Structure 1
Amino acid sequence: MPAKDMFHDSAKTALVKDGWTITHDPLSLRMGKKDFFVDLGAEKLLAAEKDNQKIAVEIKSFVSQSEIRDLENALGQYILYHNILSVLEPDRVLYLAVRESVFVDLFEEAIGKLLLDRQVLKLLTFDPELEVLKRWIN
C-alpha cells in the first residue's frame, strides 16, 4: 500500500469541509496486469463525489530541493493517471492538489502559467494549517 503524502490528511479534511464525500482512499486503478495507486507508493489518490460530480485528487507536497523536479514528477503522474481515468472512469475529473504557497511560488511563475493557460492540468490549492480549499483551477 502506498505511503501517505505529508499533506494527505490536510487536503482530505479540506475536501470534506468543502462538502465532498471521500469514496476511496486511495483510489486503486488497474490497467491490464498493472495496479496503480497513483503515486506509485509515495502518496495516495483520493476520490470524492459532490452533487453527482466525481473527482480524483493527486496530492503533491513539492518539498524537495528542486521544485522543477517535483513539477516534472507531478506532471508525469498527472498525465498517466488522467489517461488511465479517461478509460476506466471517464466521468471522474482529475485534479492535482498543492499547497497555496506552492501555487504562488510555482504556478504564478511563467512555467506554471504556461501549464495552466494551455490547460495541461487541473489544479486545486489548499491551506494545510487551516485545512481549507483555496482555489479550483480548471
Structure 2
Amino acid sequence: MARKDFYHDCVRRALVKDGWTITHEPLILPFADTRVEVDLGAQRAEQGHSAIIIAVEVKNFLAGRPVVSEYQKSYGQYQLYRELLNRFEPARPLYLAISEYAYQTIFHDDVIRTIVRDSNMKLLVFDPLTETITQWNP
C-alpha cells in the first residue's frame, strides 16, 4: 500500500462530515500487470435516487515544495486514474482533493486554472483546520 498523503485523514473526516460513507481506502484499479490505488472511494445515498459514488485523490501541495513538480505529478496521476475509472467504473467521477491554501495560491494561477478548466478536472477543496469541504469544483 502506498504511503498516505499528509492530508489523507483530514479529507476522509471531511467527507464523512459531509455525509459520505467511505467505501474504499484505497480504491484499487487494475493497470497493466499491476494495480493503482486511488486514495478514497466514497458513496452517499440520495433520497429517492441511487447512491452517488466518487473517487478522491488527495494531494498536499505543502509550502516549500516545488510547485511545478507537485502539480505535474498530481495532474499525471489524475489523468491516469480518470482514464482507468472511465474504463472500469464510468459512473464514478474522480476528484482531486486540495487544501484551501493550495486552491487560493497554486490553483489561482492563470495557467493552472486554464488547465483545470480545459481538462475538466474536478476539485474538492477542503479546510484542514475545520476538516470540512469548502467547495466542489465543478
TM-score, length of structure 2 as denominator length: 0.90
Determine the structure 2 residue equivalent to 1:2: 2
The separation in 2 between residues aligned to 1:31 and 1:109, in whole angstroms, is 32
The separation in 1 between residues aligned to 2:6 and 2:24, in whole angstroms, is 18
Write out per-residue CA displacement over residues 28-76 of structure 1, whole angstroms, 9 at most, x where no aligned residue. Answer: 11134221114xxxxxx10001131110000000125211211110000
The separation in 2 between residues aligned to 1:120 and 1:132, in whole angstroms, is 23
Three-state SS of the structure 2 residue aligned to 1:4 is coil
Three-state SS of the structure 2 residue aligned to 1:65 is coil
When the two structures are aligned, how many residues end up with a matched partner?
132
Matched letter for residue 95 of structure 1: Y
The separation in 1 between residues aligned to 2:90 and 2:70, in whole angstroms, is 27
Determine the structure 1 residue equivalent to 2:11: 11
Three-state SS of the structure 1 residue aligned to 2:124 is strand
* Unmatched 5+ stretches in structure 1: 39-44
Three-state SS of the structure 2 residue aligned to 1:135 is strand
Determine the structure 2 residue equivalent to 1:66: 66
Give the 5 Å matches for 1:18-57.
18-38=18-38, 45-50=39-44, 51=46, 52-57=51-56
Q: CA deviation at 1:109?
A: 1.6
The separation in 1 between residues aligned to 2:116 and 2:80, in whole angstroms, is 18
Mapped pair 1:117 → 2:117: yes
Q: CA deviation at 1:108?
A: 1.4
Give 4+ residue runs of structure 1 displaced > 3 Å after superposition. Answer: none
The separation in 2 between residues aligned to 1:119 and 1:137, in whole angstroms, is 13
Tell me which moved more, 94-103 or 109-118. Answer: 109-118
Three-state SS of the structure 1 residue aligned to 2:105 is helix
Three-state SS of the structure 1 residue aligned to 2:93 is strand
RMSD value, Cα: 1.2
